[in-house]
Amino acid sequence: MNSSEKSAQDMALLLQGLGTVQAFAPWSAAALRELLQSARLGRYDRGASVHREGRGGSEALVVLSGYLMMGWSGPAGEPLSLTLVGPGTLAGIGEPELHDETRYAYRAHDDGTLVAHLPAPLLLGILDAEPSLWKGMAPFLLRQQRALLTTLLHQLSGPVRQRLAATLTRFSQILGGSDTTRMLRLRLSQEDLAAMLQVTRQSINREMRAFEQRGLLSAEYGSVIVRNLAALRALGRGA
């Protein structure tokens, strides 16, 4: 299900949601309302396409609840999974003219995912009209970019076993917290994990079986149950 018709309730959800995002903390109520007059609230179920660069207008996304799978591809191909992004993420702001063939795409990872779709030109126009607002926005975007680069570095550097452990640890923490005694179910397929780590599905399957034998997790169709987060985290750190 995907509904983006804006109502008074949607407007209230948008105002409340943006109010929890640090980048918008310095914004006045008037500036937020100006932005949200042209915004829309998207409701998505798992697997639904949320946004793909190069299709439609330029817009920024703010994840209000749930998680998105971020991917990339050429203009015609299906997006390959890169990583998960969660509540408070601001993506796509100021999408540049695309001079290369890289396109980023986002699909819902959870049922009932809520995303604010903001018109990027209007967002940038408000920021440029009130330059003081950039003092909150620019550091926020830099921290977000650093976190994303750190995630990708952990996914692509080192032995496959360590990279897989680090990736599963991170997703366990953002989806279920840091409680090491509670079993956490991650709705991730081996195909997604293979794309993220740039290895074959067979390599992922082999490592997952090794993790199962050590009691770290259980693999089911389309999901992973983490049973020992502390040990998985240590393995991801090369211990």
Q: 2-37: per-residue pLDDT in tens?
A: 444 568 889 889 999 998 898 999 999 899 989 998
Adjacent-strand bridge partners of 80: 72
Report the alpha-carbon distance of residue 37 to residue 232 in Å, rounded. 46
Least confident of 1-5, 194-198, 216-220: 1-5
Contact assessment for residue 59 and residue 112, using Cβ atoms and an 8 Å cutoff = no
Per-chain mean pLDDT for the chain: 85
Does residue 93 have a pLDDT over 80?
A: no
Sequence-ordered alpha helix ranges (H) in the chain: 8-19, 29-36, 120-129, 134-156, 160-176, 190-197, 201-213, 229-236
- The pLDDT, as a whole number, for residue 130 is 93
pTM of the shown model: 0.81
Q: 144-174: per-residue pLDDT in tens?
A: 999 888 888 888 888 999 999 999 988 887 7
- Three-state DSSP at 116 gives strand
User: Percent of the chain scored above 70 by pLDDT?
Assistant: 86
Report the alpha-carbon distance of residue 17 to residue 19 in Å, rounded. 5
Give the domains, in start order, of the chain with CATH numbers: 8-134 (2.60.120.10), 157-236 (1.10.10.10)
